Structure 1
């Protein structure tokens, strides 16, 4: 499962020539404010009397505090002009996402020196970070109470969550890709070399062996999983044997993830696996994804990576869903069907919907189990990590779930600003028909995270300009 905790190193700084106590006072005000905004704050209060970065001698001490705590990001807070060389040296040693901000200066007194010149120092620190080729996130020089600061800080914490989990991605690959699916071909070596992403392959036989072992034993894991199925789903359409086949497959995949340290799955969900374990994977995929172990169908390695990115953007506080982009809405020219056989988590179903589970009918004959429900309407974000020729991009876009014709499987009709433009973007880009989705608007978080993970952000709607304006509070 993804790690939902985020630690941010609090690197408050001041310049010594500003002797007014406001610099020290703002260190405490800022700390008290952000401490209640979710992420764990790691303070450097013990490195000197003030707990501020002021002199080069402070660098080594601050870096040790942050490394010992294994922070996921660093917050450079300019309490007055700030000390750009010291702040930049700390950031360089950590190589973590960086947030730069300072509180807006007060009105100058007509007959006194200015007390902080915080904004002036922000220009200096920005240049120092560039000297070290360090990407950073910037929140405008607004007042501590301005909602732009709170929104930006919380969004930065989500960015840190993405970066942290992206770099820890280890995908359980169950069997090879389906032969006809050229679309999911990927370069496993390149994923390791560029991003440190690991793929752990297992065979269909490995999965079958584990399900058969579970059948022979009175495993408490099977009992717990069965209760989970019964509490989450309407199972009237399947037999006892069919239910147990699906339950054992669920336990087997989850155990293979645990044993091999994997936080996501790319599964060959077609006939060979179904024949081996006498179960389709749709319901299994939906419940594992709801557990925080996202499952990508059709052995889509890039799809699993996409899912980890999107799940991390919301700190695993809500379930994501893995979808096919399938057909256009018959009446709404800007809506598209997001669908898959049955892998959308039951917690996403529209209010009052029966969590109906039936047999999946196909060439092999009826197989347990396929889910049937529409998911909730409202704001949604979808994305797709993909690439070719050594270049990787993240498609990013927002829309909303709307009314549309009913269909089998799990689905949503997704309305955007200009579907023909989206369609062209998808077809001409390095993308396929798979994407991950989540309820809510997180495009700005996905966009900002790309600068830290070595992926080109590719926003469709909102646009690059609109996202950057959002970070500025517009």
Structure 2
């Protein structure tokens, strides 16, 4: 996939000058060896210049990891550590950073071999707060070489998201559709996150599309689409226009990215889009998502932001779906009850017109958009990729600015059930433990719109750390509380 940061973590060991430096030297080597034995050694760089004991060492280490191309930092407390120098290192490093500490190694070596990094981590965290420096600290940040290697590996998706957001531009087209205030939100929080946004008219996009008529690259894109759709190519007559539109978007991205490395799109898709362009853009959106350029529907800017975060965390295609409809009682009883460990209220159906990547769809077919065709000629509503979304683990989540400019988000791990939906669009039957209560006391109470981003696999742990790192207050991160744990707004009498 394109449009995803590649992370290289510079590992810098630190040492308090009244502790044996050899502890940090040897423990750093053991950590690096442990990482290389289990993971891709290209993920990390061992700073060999010095063990940081002073501010001068800090400057030397900083220059070394920058010259090595590191865009993330791991400060490793091999012993107690120099709280000033190590936190200055984090302050002056422009990128995501984490702190981990070495556990003691043997009960037979607690005189010269005791490092006290367990204590040093407390002082490091205190100094980080004094300097207003954000850093990722794992749930239990003290460990053996092997455990710290796992912590660094867990840091990679967090670092990808932070690095990505610091270099992201969101390109939007057109105002939101009439009677569609749900996804409207202030863009101030985008700038607070370091994200740039370029807002364009739908007319600008239409002009660019028309200029791509007859583009010599169109036949090659049509061939790609034909190969991807296979027997699901039920509307071959629309592929040329879809290929023209895909090239329009890709060229726009390259011409308008400016100094930003990564781009996502908040696109317009109705009500005038179909009648003027002559198709719906859903399939093209699905193709770009599969390449790492997520495109949100209905000019949902924070939906596009959420999709991008999910893409860089999971390194996989994501989708944006409506939290759409309840599962009929007869369907639940015949196909879910007794077969899966979910109550009826744990289940729901999530849907969008056809924007989900073909790799995530069972037997996807190119069709027309049923809802739009109720009021428009069917031929201008063609371009949706439809089919049931493949069963498996998912994470439903969203990052959102409220109307009064507070950043908040929600995260819930769940799954798509292997149950036929009997419906249309890109759609699946989803199950999230305690979804009924989550729906009422997080989604409704929090004022979230109906769009939610879906990452394939369970990524709640990483997303939670991403949200914390980028500044979402922990009290503003909603998740599905287990049974017996009340939400603040939940009636204690039921």
Q: Say whether the fold is shared (TM-score over 0.5).
A: yes
Moved more, 160-169 or 339-348: 160-169
The 3-state SS of whatever aligns with 2:145 is coil
Q: 1:80 to 1:248 in 2, by over 3 A?
A: same
1:64-463 correspondence runs (5 A): 64-69=63-68, 71-94=70-93, 96-109=95-108, 112-139=111-138, 140=140, 141-146=142-147, 149-188=148-187, 190-217=188-215, 219-220=216-217, 222-233=218-229, 234-240=231-237, 242-261=238-257, 263-314=263-314, 316=315, 318-330=316-328, 331=332, 332-349=344-361, 353-361=362-370, 362=373, 363-366=375-378, 367-388=381-402, 389-402=404-417, 403-424=419-440, 425-457=442-474, 458-461=477-480
Asked if 1 retains the 8 angstrom alpha-carbon contact of 2:173 and 2:267, the reply is yes
Q: CA deviation at 1:375?
A: 1.5
Report the Cα offset of residue 124 of structure 1: 2.7
8 A contact 1:11–1:87 mirrored in 2? no
Matched residues in 2 for 1:119 and 1:398: separation? 32
Compute the displacement of 1:245 (Å): 1.3
Tell me the CA shift for residue 235 of structure 1. 4.8
- Deviation by residue 1:145-197 (Cα, 9 ceiling, x = unmatched): 34xx3443222111111111122221121211101111122223x14542232
Which range moves more in the overlay, 164-173 or 124-133?
124-133
- 1:60 aligned partner: 59
Q: 1:430 to 1:41 in 2, by over 3 A?
A: same
Contact 1:397 1:462 in 2 (8 A): no
Write the distance in 2 (CA, Å) between the matches of 1:25 and 1:397.
Answer: 41
Query: Match of 2:337?
Result: none
CA–CA distance in 1 between the matches of 2:133 and 2:14? Answer: 18
- Cα 1:434–1:110 shift into 2, 3 Å: closer
User: Which blocks of at least 5 consecutive residues in structure 2 are unaligned?
Assistant: 333-343, 486-494
Q: Corresponding residue for 2:39?
A: 37
- Residues 78 and 101 in structure 2, CA contact (< 8 A), matched pair in contact too: yes
Provide the aligned C-alpha RMSD in A.
2.3
**Farther-moved stretch of structure 1 (451-460 vs 260-269):** 451-460
Q: Distance in 2 between matches of 1:225 and 1:358?
A: 19
Give TM-score, length-normalised by structure 1. Answer: 0.88
Report Cα offsets for 1:343-379 as digits up to 9, x if no partner: 1100012xxx322112234122112212121112121
Normalising by structure 2, we get a TM-score of 0.85
d(CA) in 2 for partners of 1:111, 1:422:
49
Task: Quote the Cα distance in structure 2 between the aligned partners of 1:112 and 1:385.
Answer: 49
Determine the C-alpha separation between the residues in 1 that align with 2:225 and 2:253. Answer: 19
1:298-329 deviation digits (Å, cap 9, x = unpaired):
11111111111111111x2x211110001112
Rounded Cα–Cα distance in structure 2 between residues aligned with 1:455 and 1:432: 18
Change (3 A) 1:399 1:87: same
Q: Distance in 2 between matches of 1:81 and 1:108?
A: 18
CA contact (8 A) 1:8 1:40 kept: yes
**Alpha-carbon offset, residue 133 of structure 1:** 2.5
SS at 1:229's partner residue? Answer: helix
Instruction: Note closer, same or farther for the CA distance 1:62–1:392 as it changes in structure 2 (3 Å cut).
Output: same
Displacement, 1:7? 2.2
Q: Number of matched residues?
A: 449
Write the distance in 1 (CA, Å) between the matches of 2:233 and 2:214. Answer: 25
Q: Are the equivalent residues in 1 in contact too, given 2:27–2:145 (CA < 8 A)?
A: no
Residues of 1 paired with 2:312 and 2:349: CA distance? Answer: 24
Q: Cα deviation per residue 1:94-128 (whole Å; 9 max; x = unaligned)?
A: 25433221222022438954443332322332222
TM superposition shift of 1:335 = 0.7
